[in-house]
Amino acid sequence: MAANKYVFNFQEGNLGMKRLLGGKGANLAEMTVVGLPVPPGFTVTTDACRAYYNALSLPDGLMKEVANGVKGIELQKSQLFGNAEDPLLVSVRSGSVSSMPGMMDTILNLGLTDITVVGLAKATNNVSFAYDCYRRLIQMFGNVVFGIESIYFEKLLHQLKRELQVEQDQDVTAEGWKQLILQFKACIERHARKSFPQDVNDQLKLAIEAVFRSWNNHRAQVYRRINQIPDEQGTAVNIQAMVFGNLGQDCGTGVLFTRNPSTGAKVLFGEYLTNAQGEDVVAGVRTPLPINELQKEMPEVYSRLVSIAEQLELHYRDMQDIEFTVEKNKLYMLQTRNGKRTAQAALKIGVDLVRENIISVEEALQRVEVSHLDMLLHPTIDPEAKIDVVATGLPASPGAASGQAVFDADTAEQCARAGKKVILVRSETNPEDIHGVLVAEGVLTSRGGMTSHAAVIARGMGKPCVCGCDEIGVDAEAKQFTAGDRTINEGDWISIDGATGRVIIGMVQLKEADMSEELVQMLEWADGVRQLQVFANADSPEDAAKARELGAQGIGLCRTEHMFMSAQRLPIVQAMILAESLVERQSALNKLLPMQQADFEGIFTAMAGLPVTIRLLDPPLHEFLPNLEDLVSRHIRMTIQETERSAEQDALEKLIRKVRSMHETNPMLGQRGCRLGILFPEIYEMQIEAIFRAVLRCLEKGVTVLPEIMIPLVSHANELKILRELVDHVAEQVLLTHKNSCPYKVGTMIEVPRAALTAKKIAPYADFFSFGTNDLTQMTFGYSRDDAEGKFLTQYVDQKLLAANPFQVLDRDGVGQLIELAVERGRSVKPKLKTGICGEHGGERESIFFCHETGLNYVSCSPYRVPLARIAAAQAKLVLGDQKIAIMPIVS
Amino acid sequence: MAANKYVFNFQEGNLGMKRLLGGKGANLAEMTVVGLPVPPGFTVTTDACRAYYNALSLPDGLMKEVANGVKGIELQKSQLFGNAEDPLLVSVRSGSVSSMPGMMDTILNLGLTDITVVGLAKATNNVSFAYDCYRRLIQMFGNVVFGIESIYFEKLLHQLKRELQVEQDQDVTAEGWKQLILQFKACIERHARKSFPQDVNDQLKLAIEAVFRSWNNHRAQVYRRINQIPDEQGTAVNIQAMVFGNLGQDCGTGVLFTRNPSTGAKVLFGEYLTNAQGEDVVAGVRTPLPINELQKEMPEVYSRLVSIAEQLELHYRDMQDIEFTVEKNKLYMLQTRNGKRTAQAALKIGVDLVRENIISVEEALQRVEVSHLDMLLHPTIDPEAKIDVVATGLPASPGAASGQAVFDADTAEQCARAGKKVILVRSETNPEDIHGVLVAEGVLTSRGGMTSHAAVIARGMGKPCVCGCDEIGVDAEAKQFTAGDRTINEGDWISIDGATGRVIIGMVQLKEADMSEELVQMLEWADGVRQLQVFANADSPEDAAKARELGAQGIGLCRTEHMFMSAQRLPIVQAMILAESLVERQSALNKLLPMQQADFEGIFTAMAGLPVTIRLLDPPLHEFLPNLEDLVSRHIRMTIQETERSAEQDALEKLIRKVRSMHETNPMLGQRGCRLGILFPEIYEMQIEAIFRAVLRCLEKGVTVLPEIMIPLVSHANELKILRELVDHVAEQVLLTHKNSCPYKVGTMIEVPRAALTAKKIAPYADFFSFGTNDLTQMTFGYSRDDAEGKFLTQYVDQKLLAANPFQVLDRDGVGQLIELAVERGRSVKPKLKTGICGEHGGERESIFFCHETGLNYVSCSPYRVPLARIAAAQAKLVLGDQKIAIMPIVS
């Protein structure tokens, strides 16, 4: 292709040239080549757009190519551009590579001037129509080329109609339009200090430039940022002969989907208007008719349309969204593209196309938009329901829920015990709130980002969550929150929609999610293709059961600390932490042991026959203690108000001293994870004992158990060495005492950079590596997630300093490099080392692709993300080919 | 060497066999081979010790080899082991590879039994001597072999002397000793339920085993841990014919240094006792005579000794510490070893030996114990002074200081302004205390480890610091601290010794440090050898001048935040942080600008002609704000006590809200470093402007300036890209406005793992990489230094889970790997990239070796560590050879 060919006639292009011609241009070319009735035209390429932005003017020679393009149209239409008798009119439309509907500008009827408008009137024998076209051109041109806000033109039109005492545009007379045209021209001169050009080639040049400029208008920029469309892509410009659906009753225009975009059902779906232009359908002034009415009104056109629709679907091998115009009984195709559809429709269409032998299973799988799956698996608000939205926060965990507002975890628990449904409302949550989150239908916070504590926990539990909703003001002491001028008190019903971030007053009708037959089919196909295994993160028997139902092949991360958080257990945990002696601590641990054992038994039973990876206690112990600031406040009040020193005061002071002594400047990097296990072996010992006692119970009941014990936060091989010995020792004691045995694994989280770097030394002590990508991201970047999100990290992503939030999409360059290196080094000493990730990235498509590419054995994600991960894993295999290493059996 | 040869006669060994024979054994062999009069003997190897620990019994065949060894001694001494007439007696001494003085056990006079003692009495014609020898053997044997505490034997001896009414051991009669021998034997039977063996070979076997066992006694284990001696080294056992210095006036024993170990002066130095055993010299019962007295008493022996001393020094090419015994006018050499010496003596001896052509410059350099240099450069407590030590803490920053105790930074500053000398006493310090540390003579804290905030800051400023002194209780509110039953109030004089951790009541006499001629010489030699450049970390003109005086070749790290901390500036800094608008912030910044400019001007002037690396603001802004807990306490008090709402209350609440909003969970990983520069470009802009205005002023004064601007905490190349543009932009504006120019560099700290991993992408924007090994260690290990030290990290080092504290000695496996990788990748795109480290490791020998090995261009450390670093850098070159890459000129 010549470097400086900037213009392609529709006959010259095809669908494969999308990058150069934009989506619309490539589609028009494809349809033209296939022989469909497309009005003639040509496309100015995205190369020209880039050249325009480089030089800030149209590239040399472009307008000459454009003139040749116009000549081509003139030949086909037997009309001349700018001709006074029967002028050729064209539309000038943007057409980007990625779909950006409505973001850029369009000009219709270009080619009309004071002279040619007379010719058009004659040729169409419709003066009013011609001048209406002309005034539309001037208005669009003024807006798009000269940047004059439409409102000025609208006002003039409105005024005119008032003067003429008419309601509808179509009732305005030719004279009226002529008068308006004068006013429009004056308006342009007033605002832009320029005249509406009377040279059609000037019109064309200015219009092309304006479309290029519109690539960088504000709304287009925002759209690109949100949809991660590169700025360098640029837009093409399509110049096409006008056809008119509004020349009489033998004319019309419409939109057609080849299948139902809402359900996916295989029926034609669409609507049309006679004697109308496309914008009239959109504007909603007249109500369009369902497409099958066309069969009666224009039977020939309809049957041609049906056959073209079929042809297009077969040609594009997907459901099409078609725009057409009928000009004097002649059908013209203006656009076709793969139709947007709901998540459910997408699945149904995918499965149906396979069954109709139009596409292969592999293609169907690749077409699944995994991010849409979330919507299918969580309850949603019935779209028919009337709802009272009072605020919008971040859509942190999908699904919708209704409940009575409560403002602390304890109340949440009490209400839940009394059978009430509650929504936990907090300014932000911390681990002490977990027992509240556990029982709530959903969580609403006024602070914190998409990966704040509340969001992470809620997603993990599959509970709806709206967070960072700064439109509401939460007053936990007063047990109320405000939204605008509304005050919501404890006990008031509210609803949240975690998929959109909406906060709603009152109870709303929910639609329960269930796995459609098509989803089940698609997942089955995915399972047949994928090499990555999909595990789930689950901390309770209920979560485990849900995960299994959604197809998890095991538990990749069971966080034992969540089991410490229930209101019933927390006092014992606190007693354990505050113990002054080993004996005291042991006594508290002895109370916790049977509780943990019961937890594990439940999870093992739910996952019978599948591996369950249990992570030993991870968070710093002070997370289980009361808040220091609260204690100090209480103490000051007590000191000021009480005259005599009380025993309570002594106890409080002792508690404050202890809490203060355990305070950490950077708890993320403090005394947590395996460091606890080294310092307080008795805690890990209790947990290990609980695990193996649960194993014993399951064995007695005939339940197959595959326990895997995971040591968190290892940074030096010696830590794992010591703790592995502890596991082996306790396991032997518990199992041998009962003359039983059970194969188990001991492995480690790789979540500290040093662990990844020294994987070769760590691997000898590990049966598996599970990459804790949340913490690994924190330490590799030096980002505290709690402090970064909503603060500098948000700005970094907005400024495009970072391509994506690394807590959402795994950072390949840094974190990914460490993972690759750890896998390679670990396997260099232990070729069959099992590897996987258990951070939140395990449920994110791009990250799953990375895991496939890096040769990991599994990803582990929250239960509700399991289906997504199953499909993404299959897509990874289809896109990237076989994994670098052979996949291990689940059980080895 | 045969695998199972466990015994070497002294004639078979030499100094090179230290690993096998231990230090003492190798030395005895070397002296024997050289022809010196060494009592005959042999060594049981460290191999045998390891074999003993593997099998927990002496290896097969060992005792046969020992018997052969004994035969060799018998031949030379013409005596027989266990012979009833003239028995051979031997000593059994431990001898480890690394010197562990007094840590393990010794048995003398072995070979005495109820029968041979009679022979000894006859042969020496001295019954009392013989039985004294015997009772000594039994006591030592009982203690060493049977583990009976010496106190039991001492008590019996004491009782005997009381009965006999004698004061001195030598006055005890033979009958007395015989009686005591019976009691000693009974004591052994009572405590060990075993008899003292009458078979001399049993004695020998048991003694060898006991010495091997003593390798693992508690004090030896502790000593090894402190001195980082590997457990696997094991000890050798030396068996040697006894010689007696206590057989009459023609006998004696003594110790001799070939040079003065305290000053290094080239004179014989030592002392001796006639008619005495070695232990009598140590015990101090009689006062030994200076060695030159021996010339009068035994002129021949003396002249032989002098010539042997000379021979030994030349042979060993170092100052020797010699033990000798004279038995009936015959001189025996019992030991020689390189003598311990003071830091100053070591330098003098090193330089003198070079000047005497005994060793080369390179050898002299390699012999410098760099850790001793610290002592030479800081004022020390006059050893003559009488001092009242009340507590001992961690020796956190060397040097001694006296001053009046003050308990907060503001008081410190007021006192200092009034010309008083103060010691700042805190339970722990934080960045808000810096202006107090700045003016104090020294710092004392009751909490925090060797790398706590106080310690780091004090070391950086070269101020004495004792920290983690938990023997004292600091009550800042009452303005006092307690130590034991003493209370020290504000204004009381105290002294601290940062080299030993001593806390002293009252003022003490200090000895000012000055660079001795020998130190200057040694440093000059080092400069001629080393390839690494040595820069200093300095934040003020004074520090810069000191650094330059101590030989720094530039400033590698100038921390601008310390300039924000003075009492005068802090309110402006706080106003800047709390600003509600950009205008407000700009106004505060405008006030700070001239202050920063003056700082930079001073530093540039002090370092004229040398590079000055200035790091832009790094710590999180909330570090400059008041403590939240204090504010909240104040607020609660105000709320309770005031009846009407005051303006003060409003202001306080506003402040609390702001401080709370800036609170971070993990400030180490929060909004700091270049993240501030991206979010608040106006702050960095002010700093950059201040730098270049200072540059201008210097240029006007004719001062050569080499500014290097360093961007902290970069984790993504884009951060550096953006901020480099900012630097270039501001520099151009300031310099061009004044039609001036100045070459400058822009570089980055590499202190986030991701920066190291992505060095290839960062290097294009960096003129230099400066590894911030403090933070890099924190993030690579996932250790918060503030939380780890004194907590789990201390235990990790104690448990030997980690070989060393990674904040003191650079962790090669993890952190080092990242540095290597970053250097390699950075230079792959920019071959001349300047690299160095500026963490505390820059002043630590092992870490400096790593830097040399990795091909860094420089290390930067606190000014007082510069001489140490200069020598260590030379040693690195001598030990490791040339650097991997060519060294760059300082200015490029």
Dist CA B187 CA B193 (whole Å): 9
User: Domain of B416: which CATH number?
Assistant: 3.50.30.10
Instruction: Indicate if B251 belongs to the active site.
Output: no
A581 falls within a domain = yes
Among B362-376, B540-554, B611-625, B683-697, whose mean pLDDT is lowest?
B362-376
pLDDT in tens, A319-377: 999 999 999 999 999 988 888 887 888 999 999 999 999 999 999 999 998 877 876 77
Q: What is the C-alpha end-to-end distance of chain A, expressed in Å?
A: 56
Window A:753-792, CB contacts with B under 8 Å? 753-754, 757-758, 761, 775, 778-784, 786-788, 791-792
Q: Using CB atoms, pick whichever of B668, B722, B811 lies closest to residue A666.
A: B668
Is residue B680 domain-shared with residue B532, that is, in the same domain? yes
Burial environment of residue A509 by CB neighbours within 10 A (0 to 12, 13 to 18, 19 or more): middle
pLDDT digit string, tens, across residues A833-871: 999 999 889 999 999 999 999 999 999 999 989 999 999
> Do residues A725 and A745 both lie within one domain?
yes
Would A687 be classed as within a structural domain? Answer: yes
Final residue of a domain: which of A218, A241, A264?
Answer: A241
| Residue in the structure block whose two tokens are 């261009």 | B857
For range A545-563, the mean pLDDT: 93
Q: Are residues A650 and A672 in the same domain?
A: no
> Residue B327: which CATH number?
3.30.470.20
pLDDT at A1 exceeding the cut of 50:
no
Q: What CA–CA distance (Å, rounded) separates A360 from A381?
A: 34
Residue window 659-688, chain A: list those with CB within 8 Å of chain B.
664-671, 675, 678-679
Report yes or no: A217 and A211 within 8 Å, Cβ to Cβ.
no
Nearest to B836 by CA among B461, B450, B531: B531
User: Residue A749 pairs with which residues in a beta bridge?
Assistant: A770
Whether residue B6 is contained in a domain is answered as: no
- Residue B44: phi, psi to the nearest 5? -90, 130
A648 marked among binding-site residues: no
Range of the domain at B755: 528-625+662-880
Q: Let me know if residue A44 belongs to a domain.
A: no
Query: Within a domain: residue B179?
Result: yes
Angle CA(B348)–CA(B353)–CA(B359) in degrees, nearest 5? 135
Phi, psi (rounded to 5 degrees) for A750: -110, 100
**Alpha-helix residue ranges (DSSP H) falling in B753-798:** 753-757, 759-762, 773-781, 785-788, 792-798
Min Cα distance A791 → chain B (Å) is 8
The enclosing domain of B867 has a CATH number of 3.20.20.60
Last residue of a domain, one of B241, B266, B294: B241
Compute the average pLDDT of residues B165-190.
92
On whether both A502 and A559 belong to a single domain, the answer is: no
Structural domain count, chain B: 5
**Residue B573 and residue B500 share a domain:** no
Nearest to A671 by CA among A627, A718, A712, A708: A712
Under a CB-based contact definition with an 8 Å cutoff, are residues B566 and B627 in contact? Answer: no
Q: Name the amino acid, one letter, at B881.
A: G
Nearest residue, CB atoms, B754 vs list A641, A781, A784: A781
Residue A15 lies in a domain: no
- The token duo for B861 is 């450390």
CB-count exposure of residue B201 (10 Å: 0-12, 13-18, 19+): middle
Q: Tens digits of per-residue pLDDT, A289-326?
A: 889 999 999 999 999 999 999 999 999 999 999 999 99
Q: CA nearest B665: which of A470, A788, A476?
A: A788
**Separation between Cα atoms, residue B52 and residue B48, nearest integer Å:** 6
Mutate to test the interface with B, among A427, A638, A663, A665 (most CBs of B within 10 A): A665
Q: Are residues A587 and A656 in the same domain?
A: no
Question: What pLDDT is recorded for position A285?
Answer: 60
Q: Enumerate residues 6+ apart whose C-beta is below 8 A from B477.
A: none
Q: Pairing state of beta strands A87-88 and A465-467? A: unpaired
Q: How far is B623 from chain A (nearest CA, A)?
A: 12
Quick: pLDDT tens for B659-715.
888 888 899 999 999 999 999 999 999 999 999 999 999 999 999 999 999 999 999
Which range, A226-235, A605-614, B464-473, has the best average confidence (pLDDT)? A605-614
* Chain A interface disruption, residue of B671, B716, B762, most A CBs within 10 A: B716
Q: For residues B188 and B284, state if they share a domain.
A: no
B237 and B316: one domain? no
ipTM: 0.80
Task: Give me the torsion for CA of A202, A203, A208, A210, rounded to 10°.
Answer: 110
Q: Given this model, what pLDDT does residue B222 score?
A: 76
Q: What is the pLDDT of residues B222-234, one digit of tens each?
A: 778 767 788 889 9
pLDDT at A801 (0 to 100): 93
Within an 8 Å CB–CB cutoff, is residue B247 touching chain A?
A: no
Asked whether residue A613 is domain-assigned, the answer is: yes
Confidence tier at A635 by pLDDT (50, 70, 90): confident
Answer for the pair A19, A32: CB distance below 8 angstroms, yes or no.
no
Q: Which of A274, A261, A145 is nearest to A210 (CA)?
A: A145
CA B783 to chain A, closest CA, distance in angstroms equals 5
Min distance A483 CA to chain B CA atoms (Å): 20
Contact call for B799 and A758, based on CB within 8 A: no
pLDDT-derived band at B890, boundaries 50, 70, 90: very low
Q: Which of A588, A595, A584 is nearest to A560 (CA)?
A: A595
Cβ-count burial B3-20 (b if 16+ within 10 Å, e if not): eeebbbbbebbbbebbeb
Taking CB atoms and an 8 Å limit, are A665 and B628 in contact across chains?
no
Q: Are residues B673 and B793 in the same domain?
A: yes
Question: Taking a C-beta distance cutoff of 8 angstroms, is the pair A768, A836 a contact?
Answer: yes
B883 dihedral zone (left: phi>0; alpha: psi -120 to 50; beta): beta
Cα(A371)–Cα(A865) distance, integer angstroms: 10
DSSP, residue by residue, B533-582: EEEEE--SHHHHHHHHHTT-SSEEEEEGGGGG-STTTHHHHHHHHH-SSH
The highest-confidence range among A537-541, B343-347, B791-795, by mean pLDDT, is A537-541
Integer-rounded Cα radius of gyration of chain A: 33
Structural domain contains residue B828: yes
Q: Could you report the per-residue pLDDT of A38-61, keeping only the tens digit for each?
A: 999 999 999 999 999 999 899 999
Q: Are residues A311 and A269 in the same domain?
A: yes
CB contact under 8 A, B784 and A718: no
Distance (Å, whole) CA A264 – CA A350: 9
Helix (H) or strand (E) holding B92: strand B90-96
Do the Cβ atoms of A667 and B787 come within 8 Å? yes
**Interface-testing mutation among A429, A675, A714, A720, with chain B (most B C-beta atoms within 10 A):** A675
| B510-511/B502-505 β-pairing | unpaired
| pLDDT range class, residue A231, cuts 50, 70, 90 | confident
- Give the model's confidence band at B458: pLDDT under 50 very low, under 70 low, under 90 confident, else very high: confident
Q: What CATH number has the domain bearing residue B104?
A: 1.20.80.30
Domain co-membership, A420 together with A555: no
* Dist. CA A172–CA A298, nearest whole Å: 28
Question: In the listed set B338, B366, B394, which residue is the last one of a domain according to the structure?
Answer: B338
* Token pair for A753: 């950079």
Question: CB-CB: which of B640, B666, B792 is closest to A640?
Answer: B640
Task: Give the model's pLDDT for residue A891.
Answer: 38
- Do residue B300 and residue B432 come from a single domain? no
Question: Does pLDDT of A663 surpass 90?
Answer: no
Of B633, B754, B787, the CB nearest to A671: B787
Catalytic residue numbers of A? 453, 838
A479 near A492, Cβ under 8 Å? no
Across A252-276, average pLDDT: 90
